[in-house]
Amino acid sequence: MAKLIPAAERVIRARKLIQQARALPVPETGLGKNDFSYIANVKDLLRQAKDMVKFIPQTAGVSAEMKAEVKRIYAEIEQAGTEILS
């Protein structure tokens, strides 16, 4: 059976995934930022970050502060996607 990950740990892991997406090197050859594999890797990391926290707001017993933190993570994910891929 899979081990449950606490909400605070999920937030930390989501932020690490966002940082990994930002740190992904842009291909120097070919299409650069328009390279399909680069775009797919960035989107996959950001999707993993979103999946990491998406059920936290629906979980019973989660504080309003944690729910606000999840909203900030969603905003970070959207901002990172825009910044990285534009």
Residues of 17-53 as b/e, b for ≥16 C-beta within 10 angstroms?
bbeebeeeeeeeeeeeeeeeebeeebeebbeebbebb
**Per-residue pLDDT for 60 more than 90?**
no
**DSSP H helical segments within the chain, as ranges?**
7-23, 36-53, 64-85
Is the residue at 1 inside a domain?
Answer: no
Side chain identity at 8, as an amino acid letter?
A
Count up the domains in the chain and report the number. Answer: 1
User: In this predicted structure, what is the pLDDT of residue 28?
Assistant: 84
Tell me whether residue 59 is in a domain.
yes
Residues 6-47 pLDDT 10s: 899 999 999 999 999 999 998 888 787 888 999 999 999 999
- Give the domain range for residue 54: 7-24+31-85
Chain centroid to CA 15: how far? 6
In a domain, 42, yes or no: yes
pTM given for the model: 0.89
2 assigned to some structural domain: no
